[in-house]
Every structure is written in C-alpha cells, then in structure tokens.
Structure 1
Amino acid sequence: MTALRPIVATALSRLTSAILGALIFLTPSSPAQSQGAACFSSSATFETRIEACTERLKDTSLQPGIRALVFFARASAFNELSETERALADLNSGLALSPGDTPALLARAHMKEVRGDISGAEADVTAALTVDAKLGEAYVQRAAIRFAQGKEDLAIADLGEARRLSPRDPGPYRVRGEYFLKQNKHTEAIGELKQAVALNSSDFDSHAILGQALIKANRAGEAIVAFTTALNLKPNDIRTLRDRAIAYGRFANYAAAMADFSRILSLRPNDAAATEARGVAALQSGVHQQAIIDFSVMLRAQPGRADWHYFRGLAYLRTQKLAEAVKDFSATLTQTPTDIDALSSRAGAHLGLDQFEDADADLTLALTQQPKSAELILQRAQLRFLAGHFDESAKDFAALNTLAGSGLSGQTPRSALWRFIAQARAKQDGRSSLTTVANTISSRTWPGAMLRFFLGEVSADTVMAQADDGSLKRCQANFYLGHAGLILDDRAQARERFSDALTTCEQSSVEYHSALLELKQL
C-alpha cells in the first residue's frame, strides 16, 4: 500500500536510531571491528553496509541483543535495495533474538503484506501494539491492512485510536483517502487527503496520493501541483516522477513529461517502462532523434515488438529517413498485416521515395479495412495525383464527395480544387462539381478566390492578394496556379508558380512534393 511508505520509513528510522544508540557498546578496538562498524554508518553505501554487517555477524561473541541490531541494520540496507526476501529473512533472524522490537515488527509487517501474507502482517502489527499500545503509526498501519482485508469497521476504529493518540498526524486521513481511492470514490479521497496535507504540509505521501486521486478525477492541473509539491520534498521518488509525467501528458506538455522520464532513467537506467514512455513523449513533442534512440534500446532488449517498430518508424518518417521508416513499418506489418496506421505510414514513406505503386498498394489494402475513411481516400487520391494517374485520382476525390453527401467527413474546398485539377489534367470537365462547392464559400474566404479563378471569375492577382496573409495560403495559391499553367499549356507560368511553391511550402507538404515533381518534368 502506498500509504504504508511513511510507516515503514518510520519503523526503519527507529531501527536505525536504536542501532546508532547501541554503538556505544560497539566501539572499535581492532581493524576488523572498525570495518564492521560500517554496518551502522549512514554515510556508507548500502552495499558496503551489507558487507560490513555480514562480516560483523561472523563474530560469535556478539551478545543476542547486539546481534539482533546487526540483523536489523542489514535488513534496512537490503530493503533500500528492494531485496525484500533477504530483508525479511534478516528481520526474522533479528526478531528471533529480540521478539519485542516494535520497529522491526512493523517493518516485517509491511514486507509480509508486500508478499501477500496479509494475516501475518496484521499479526505483527498487533504484536507491536501489545508491546506498546501508544504507537499511533501502528494503528494507522493496521488500519490499512484491515481495509485491504475488507474489515472496514475495525480499520476505522484503528484510525480513530490513531487520531486520539496523535491529533496532528496526517496518517489516518491519508489511509482513509487511499482506501476511498481504491473504491473509486474520488471526491471522498480528495477530501481526506487535503485534510492530511493541511495537517502536515511536509508529508510527502499525502501529497503524492492526493495527486493520484486528482488524476483519476480528471483534474490533471491540480494533480501536477500535488506531485510537484511531493517531489519538492522527495525529488527522486520514481513513482511520483512517473505519475507527474503522465499528468503532463494529459495536458499535452510532452517536453515536461520527457524531463520527468529522463530523471527516472538517470536514477534507474534500465527502467524499460520509462524508456518506452520517454520515446512516446519524444515522438509527440517532435524530438524524433530521442524517440529513435529510446525505441532502438527497447528493440535491442526485446526484438520484433510491432508497436515499437511502428513508433520508431514514425520518428524515421518525420526525419526523412525514409528507407529506415519503410523497414520498421514492414516489421510491424509482418506481425499485423492489416494494421491501418502502419499501412498508411509506410505508404507515406514509399511516397517520399517516389515508390508510387508500393504506396498505392498499401493504401488500397488499408481501404479494404476502412472503405469509408476520408483520410485514407484523400491520401490515395493525392498519391495518384502525384503519380500522374489523374483519372484514378479524380475518382478518389469523387468518392470524397460521396462521403460528404452521406454526412461523413468528405469533400472540402481544398479537395474540390484537387479534384478539378485532376479532372482537367485527365481531359475531363469538372466545372459542375467545382461550381457546386464554390457556391458554399464566400469569395472573401480562402480558397474562395481560387475556386472562382478556375471558373474564370477572378484573376491570378486577386488570388494572390487573398493569399497574402499567410505562408500556407501562398503555398497553396502557387501550387494551384502552377497547375493552372499546365492546364492552359503555359509552361513558363507553370515553372514560375511551382518555383514559388518550393519557397513557400513546407518540404513535408504534398504541394511541395507535387511542385518538385512537376518542375523536374518541365
């Protein structure tokens, strides 16, 4: 239970205090004893403490009480290294020598609960309370265990006793808050946890659990505040760093999420979940090289994962590493041959490589899965346009118009322009459908002037004047006017407009790609 973390910390802290108090009986009188004293040193690493305690336990002359303290010290170090089984074994050994040690009983209770021995955990806390009935934190710990067992009345009674003994202790409110959280009673949980932080603003766990409750209540902004407060108290808590990163993701603040996942990885370099999550956040925030690095790490550890190949493929696609993107999307499709996202994305990579037939095949297969997908139809229509298959392109744009007629997302003024140009390039008359769309949009609204240009109602100068307030509009205007030059067999006009399109369009845009292809042919 999350709420037990401060209880266990208190128990182990009390163990440490007792051990340090016993040091007056362990004054080193030889180099070996001096080395063994590192067992109790708070400045030594956990590994050094374990080694020193192990060496100390070889001394057969140690009194039982002191030997118990050594076992407890080593248990504390094992616990810090998440070696629960070895910590539990040392606590058992120490308690066999000193059965009434309440901090050790409470620490062992927690470890038993982690292992699923709930009744054993309850027995240990009850034993500690038999030794000292005024241990407020023990009542809180037993309440948490009893809540987990469904003994709600007994748990509430324990919390009442804890409040009586320590009125300013946030623990009872924190445990009740976590209990309500597990019951999905978010409002009640938030109320209890806010009382806990009001009683003790320095209580890390109350802030951390409050953040979890706020996230579940879809209050991500407040959750970030709670997690940040908790992390100000305990900057390296991995669970809370992960929780705050998730909250940042809810706000689409992917850069902040990346920073938290990076912090986790600085503390735990082999954390696979954090590596994967940072890769996703990097992809979302446009830090594509980091996404490539993270998903490459994941794929080295577990080769062949379809989703990781897909995510890395997206990063390659967005950095114009198109051959690598095709390989990754193909790896995804080896396992999930009809994955629409992978098919659509691989089509985009094929398109960038001017592999039009391969791209067309991918989109056609995707459309067998979702035949009414306006996005896929538009993508194939534009692809066929770029490939010079204008008749097939016009048919796809006509299909978009059919979708619009059925109430689905289909034809737009932009796609109407593409359809008209495709029809004109295929020597077809598309004026009727273009007129229908032109009648739905004001000439003062983009691309109203462009529609009316092809209907012969306004000049190219009027089009450029309307497009003068944005680079995207200028890009589209130059692109459309370039194709107008081709339709009218004015190659000089087409060359000029397509050249202007290359300077005004994003290189990733389909307009840029089309202009580049047409200029090569001109």
Structure 2
Amino acid sequence: MIRSIFAAICMVLFATNLQAAGIADLKAANAAAEMRQGDEAIALYTQALAADDLSTEDQLTARKGRGREYSAKALIADAFNRHDDGRRLRDNAIADFSAALSLKADDGSVLLERGQDYHMNRQFDLAIADFSAALKLNNSASTLLQRAASQRAKGAYEEAIADCTAALAIDNRDAGLEIWDIYNERGYTEFMAARYDAAAADFGKAFALGAESQAGDVLWVPYQLAWLHIAHARAGQNDAEELGRLSGKISDKQWPGTLIAFFLGQIRLEDVSAASSHGTMGRARECNLSLFTGEDALGKGNNEQARQLLLRAREVCNTHTLQYLVAGTELDRMKK
C-alpha cells in the first residue's frame, strides 16, 4: 500500500516537472526570439511542444513563435541564394502556422503570416486564399495590397488592380502605409499589364503625393522618377522636359541620380554606376540599373540591348523582388 502511494506521488511529481519544463522552455524560447537567437529559439520551442502538456494558448504561442523563426531563417537563406533551404524552412513555418490555425481558425495574424510564406514559395493561389480569409476578419488596406501582390505575381492583373483600387478607397489606412504606396502598387501592376499610360498616371500621382515628405530620401525621388520615366517610355512618350523639371534637386553625380542623368542623355550608360563592393547592396544597385535601362531600351526599340539587360536583371535581382518579376515578364513577352 505504501509503495503504491509513493509511486502515485512520484508520477504526479514527474508530470508536474514535465509541465513546468514545458512552460519554462516556452518562456526561454520567447526570450531567445526577442534576442534574435533564432536557432536557440527554434530548439526551445520544439522542446516546449514536445512536453505535450502545454495549454492550448501556450501551444498557439509556441507554434506561432517557431513559425516566425523559420520564416526569418528562410529570408536569410534566400539572401545567400540558398533557395532550396529557404523553401524548406518556409515549409516548416507553414506547417507551424497551419497547426496554429487548427487551434484558432480565426487568428488573422497567422493567416497573414502563412499567406506571406505561401507567396514567397510561389504558391500564389494558397496565398490569395489566406489573404482573402484574413480580409473577411479585417478589411485592411495592407492586406488588400498583399493579395494584390500575389495576384500580380500569377498574372491576374485585373484582380490585382481591383484590390489596389479598393485599398485606395479605405480612409483608415494601416500605420506606416501611405496613399502614395498604394498608387505605386497599382502602377506596378498596370505596368506589368502593359497599361503604360495608366501606370504613368499612378506613378505621377504617387510622386506628387510623396515628394515633399520624401524629399530627404536620396533613393526615393530618383527611383520614383525612374518608374515614371520608363512608363512614359513604354507608352511612346518623350518626357524629357517633365523629367528635367522634376529632377532639378537630384544630384547627378551619384547613384541613383546618375540614372536620371542617363535618361536625360547627359551621360553614357557605362558611366551611370561605378562598381560596388557592398555585396547585397551592390547587387541591388545592379538589379535596378539593369531593369530600368532595359525598359528604357525597350521604349527606344533597342530590343537586343534590352534583352541582355533584362537577362542580367534576372541574374542579379533577388528572386522575391518586383524587379525580378518584371524582368521575367518582359523576357517572356519578347519570346512571343
């Protein structure tokens, strides 16, 4: 009898210790995540879930936390061109977010995060489904733009433009989302749909709305004008006078101001950008240079030069960027 009582007490203590261990691991995992110690956080979340006695709320926290860490590691893998690793890590994140949704189906934040990972894995229909479900919970302008990006990536331009237009109609926009952001997003989609006049109109609106607040940003104004110029060029319009007027305060001695100087015929293509030793930053510069000058060449009818520049853009642009997507769409059209 005494032995039975002692065994029962031991079992209770063992179970209590397991539960305490699970909660302790979860707290430690959250702390590691805050310290951006991704590998440590993933290991601790895994231990916490293995305890198998977390409350439903704690399981939800652990699944969401581990999913976010997998997503972050996937982005790092992509940055170093380890795309197979990036996809595998996002698959892990998607599995965790799916498990979280099985615990709480109406968690809008998890739907958005899973949708983003589906998008990055080029599973656009699944991404659109998640963004649509999130929109039923909260009709957010930023979520409309995320769904529009997935629709644009799969070539559903009409639907993407409609989402951007709907986002413009929402007065209470999400924090950090400016109205000129929305005009730009619709402009990118119109550009990819070969509606160059409409794209130019939206890029022009974005510039007019954002120029004052972004005047101190040495990148925003030149890149905004670059998109406006190539939309005009593809529409067959000579915008030299307007471009010269709008770029008056841009330095034409350093990138990306030199890009505008090239568009105005003030410098040669080979003088637009000096080689950069800044790794990813340098590749981003070459990515933009290749895309914008390729589009400018298309506007001038220099198709072979354009093809070479767009091929280079596909080589150097991050596969998740708009520039990579646009270059691929143009190259596909050139084959037809």
TM-score normalised by length of structure 2? 0.80
Q: Which residue of 2 aligns with 1:394?
A: 200
Q: Which residue of 1 aligns with 2:35?
A: 251
Find 2:313's aligned residue among 501, 512, 515.
501
Q: Which residue of 1 aligns with 2:184?
A: 378
Question: How far off is 1:379 after superposition?
Answer: 1.8
Matched-pair contact (CA < 8 Å) for 1:329–1:342: yes
Q: Which amino acid aligns with 1:420?
A: H
1:301 aligns with 2:103: yes
| Runs of 4+ deviating beyond 6 Å | none
Q: Which residue of 1 aligns with 2:47?
A: 263
Question: How far off is 1:464 after superposition?
Answer: 5.1
Q: Which amino acid aligns with 2:46?
A: S
Q: Which amino acid aligns with 2:295?
A: H
CA change 1:296–1:386 in 2 (3 A) is same
1:516 aligns with 2:328: yes
SS at match of 2:272: helix
CA change 1:269–1:39 in 2 (3 A) is closer
Find 1:446's aligned residue among 234, 244, 255.
255
Find 1:280's aligned residue among 53, 61, 68.
68
What RMSD over aligned residues (CA atoms) do the two structures have, in Å? 2.8
CA change 1:268–1:352 in 2 (3 A) is same
Give identity over the alignment, percent.
25
SS at match of 1:412: helix
SS at match of 1:348: helix
Question: How far off is 1:372 after superposition?
Answer: 4.0
1:316 aligns with 2:316: no
Question: How far off is 1:496 after superposition?
Answer: 1.6
Question: How far off is 1:285 after superposition?
Answer: 3.5
Matched-pair contact (CA < 8 Å) for 1:446–1:466: no
* Structure 2: 5+ residue stretches without partners: 75-88
1:475 aligns with 2:287: yes
* Structure 1: 5+ residue stretches without partners: 1-32, 41-48, 51-72, 83-233
Give the alignment of 1:337-348 within 5 angstroms: 338-348=139-149
For residues 44 and 135 of structure 2, the distance between their equivalents in structure 1, rounded to whole angstroms, comes to 32
Matched-pair contact (CA < 8 Å) for 1:446–1:467: no
Q: Deviations over 1:186-210 (max 9, x none)?
A: xxxxxxxxxxxxxxxxxxxxxxxxx
Q: Which residue of 2 aligns with 1:241?
A: 25
CA change 1:521–1:275 in 2 (3 A) is closer
Matched-pair contact (CA < 8 Å) for 2:45–2:65: yes
Q: Which residue of 1 aligns with 2:127?
A: 325
CA change 1:303–1:363 in 2 (3 A) is same
For residues 37 and 244 of structure 1, the distance between their equivalents in structure 2, rounded to whole angstroms, comes to 37
Q: Which residue of 2 aligns with 1:460?
A: 269
Question: How far off is 1:319 after superposition?
Answer: 1.4
Q: Which amino acid aligns with 2:103?
A: A
Matched-pair contact (CA < 8 Å) for 1:449–1:466: no
Question: How far off is 1:248 after superposition?
Answer: 2.9
Question: How far off is 1:305 after superposition?
Answer: 3.6
Give the alignment of 1:30-69 within 5 angstroms: 37-40=3-6, 49-50=7-8
Give the alignment of 1:100-249 within 5 angstroms: 237-249=21-33
Q: Deviations over 1:87-141 (max 9, x none)?
A: xxxxxxxxxxxxxxxxxxxxxxxxxxxxxxxxxxxxxxxxxxxxxxxxxxxxxxx
Q: Which amino acid aligns with 1:430?
A: D
1:334 aligns with 2:146: no
For residues 255 and 373 of structure 1, the distance between their equivalents in structure 2, rounded to whole angstroms, comes to 38
Q: Which residue of 1 aligns with 2:78?
A: none
Matched-pair contact (CA < 8 Å) for 1:381–1:396: yes
For residues 267 and 345 of structure 1, the distance between their equivalents in structure 2, rounded to whole angstroms, comes to 36
CA change 1:513–1:490 in 2 (3 A) is same
For residues 460 and 408 of structure 1, the distance between their equivalents in structure 2, rounded to whole angstroms, comes to 27
Matched-pair contact (CA < 8 Å) for 1:479–1:498: yes
Matched-pair contact (CA < 8 Å) for 1:309–1:332: yes
Q: Higher relative contact order by CA 8 Å / sep ≥ 6: 1 or 2?
A: 2
Q: Deviations over 1:403-429 (max 9, x none)?
A: 234436895211110101112222334
CA change 1:403–1:256 in 2 (3 A) is farther
Between Structure 1 and Structure 2, how many residues are aligned? 304
Question: How far off is 1:452 after superposition?
Answer: 0.7
TM-score normalised by length of structure 1? 0.53
Find 1:361's aligned residue among 141, 162, 165.
162
SS at match of 1:492: helix
Question: How far off is 1:436 after superposition?
Answer: 4.2
Bigger radius of gyration, 1 or 2?
A: 1
Question: How far off is 1:505 after superposition?
Answer: 1.5
Question: How far off is 1:332 after superposition?
Answer: 1.6
Question: How far off is 1:394 after superposition?
Answer: 1.3
